[in-house]
Amino acid sequence: MDDYPKTTARSNVLDNMNVFFTWAFTAEMLLKMLACGVENYIKDNYNLFDCFVVLLSIFDFTINRVLSQE
């Protein structure tokens, strides 16, 4: 959600939402893996796509945290 001029409050809200949804979808993926079993989980292409998106979100979260510390 880009806008100009960028306000600090809006950026903080969006950053917090990004963190919340990253961890919520990570928890959802892990719970689904536990419930279905990993073998059954990976049989469904939608689940593979979901896993890919979650892993990209975790990667993005990690990169943003590392770069913001410099």
Q: Look up residue 7 and give its DSSP letter.
A: P
Rounded to the nearest integer, the mean pLDDT of the chain is: 92
Residue 8 belongs to some domain of the structure: no
Report the domain count for the chain: 1
Match 């796509």 to its residue by tokens. Answer: 49
Please tell me the distance from the alpha carbon of residue 36 to that of residue 18, in angstroms, as a whole number. 27
Share of the chain above pLDDT 70, in %: 97
> What domain range includes position 33?
22-69
Share of the chain above pLDDT 90, in %: 71
Residue 46 belongs to some domain of the structure: yes
Beta-carbon-side half-sphere exposure of residue 22 (alpha carbons within 13 Å): 15
User: Has residue 27 got a pLDDT over 70?
Assistant: yes
